[in-house]
Amino acid sequence: MASISVIAATIFSISISWYLFWFFHEYTHWVAGKLFLGDPKVLYRSWHKIPYPYAVKYRELEQMPNLGVRIAGISPHVVWTTVAISYLVDGLSVIDMDILQIINGIAEGMYSTPFPELTFIFTSTLAGASVSPSDLVATFSPQNYRRYTGQELSHCEWLRVLLGQFD
């Protein structure tokens, strides 16, 4: 059984990860944009005066090849999902079909992982798993991404672009 301090440290780690994953995710888009000469700029918002990145603007989007746009769209998902899976696979060395044993194993793994490593694992998992519709449009339809970028579309509008239902 975990102590209160271990549980508190785990909850704190998860909370920090919810903030840090934005940086991991958006700056991976930024690196890909830089590699493909898109002149990227990370855009920030704030939540109660706490800044966080929410998007990347490619100032030279027209100069980027389609492959570059695709890679920029999918890069955080490939990079951070791979990192997260490499950590998580180690914890799956003993697979048991009893759901309570699986939950108990996950909890014990979380409580026994050092704070910095646990924070990194959660952050990379969130950065890889957070898929926005604009990421999908960039990955699957670079032409549409170029066409609609800069119009301040919401997630719902990007989803309509992805589905071919946007004017």
Q: Is residue 166 part of a domain?
A: no
Residue type, 157: E
CB atoms near residue 30 (< 10 Å): 22
pLDDT at 158 (0 to 100):
86
pTM: 0.84
Q: Is residue 117 part of a domain?
A: yes
Nearest to 134 by CA among 107, 153, 117, 111: 153
Residue 149, C-beta contacts closer than 8 angstroms, at least 6 positions apart: 57, 58, 61
Q: Is residue 137 part of a domain?
A: no
pLDDT at 100 (0 to 100):
78
Along the chain (167 residues), what's the average pLDDT of each consecutive run of 10 residues?
79 92 96 96 92 94 95 96 83 66 75 85 92 91 89 83 81
Overall domain count for the chain: 1
The whole-angstrom separation of Cα 135 and Cα 128 is 12
Q: Is residue 17 part of a domain?
A: yes
Q: Is residue 141 part of a domain?
A: no
pLDDT at 157 (0 to 100):
87
pLDDT at 111 (0 to 100):
75
pLDDT at 73 (0 to 100):
95
Contact 40, 64 (CB under 8 A): no
pLDDT at 163 (0 to 100):
87
| Angle subtended at Cα 89 by Cα 81 and Cα 54, rounded to the nearest 5 degrees | 20
Residue 52, C-beta contacts closer than 8 angstroms, at least 6 positions apart: 19, 22, 23, 44, 45, 46
Q: Is residue 99 part of a domain?
A: yes
pLDDT at 137 (0 to 100):
92
Phi first, then psi, for residue 95 (nearest 5°) are -100, 125
pLDDT at 124 (0 to 100):
94
Q: Is residue 104 part of a domain?
A: yes
Domain carrying residue 56: 4-131
Q: Is residue 147 part of a domain?
A: no
